[in-house]
Amino acid sequence: MAACPSGRGIPWHRVVGAGGRLLLREPHVLLQRKLLESEGLEVAERRILNFADRQWTPGRNKRPKRTKKKKHGR
């Protein structure tokens, strides 16, 4: 995230640790928590509740591959 250009609207606040743990230190973790809660996530202490329902898993939700149309021989 540090390499991302500033002013691009990248949702840095969505980057959390394993199991939904908020890893930033104060005062930044307070802003992260408020931004996550504004998106409808529930946060208790420093952990996102029901994180398994919301986490991104690489390789999931990909569009199905398109198959090539067979050419008909004449």
pLDDT score of 34: 95
Residue 2 inside a domain? The answer is no
The count of structural domains within the chain is 1
pLDDT score of 8: 77
4, pLDDT greater than 80: no
Q: Write out pLDDT tens, residues 14-52.
A: 889 999 999 999 989 999 999 999 999 999 999 999 988
Residue 69 inside a domain? The answer is no
Residue 28 inside a domain? The answer is yes
Residue 24 inside a domain? The answer is yes
- Higher local confidence (pLDDT), 30 or 60: 30
Structural domain boundaries enclosing 25: 12-53
pLDDT score of 55: 80
Residue 6 inside a domain? The answer is no
Helix (H) or strand (E) holding 47: strand 47-48
- Higher local confidence (pLDDT), 70 or 7: 7
Residue 1 inside a domain? The answer is no
Work out whether the CA dihedral 2, 62, 48, 41 comes out positive or negative. Answer: positive
Residue 35 inside a domain? The answer is yes
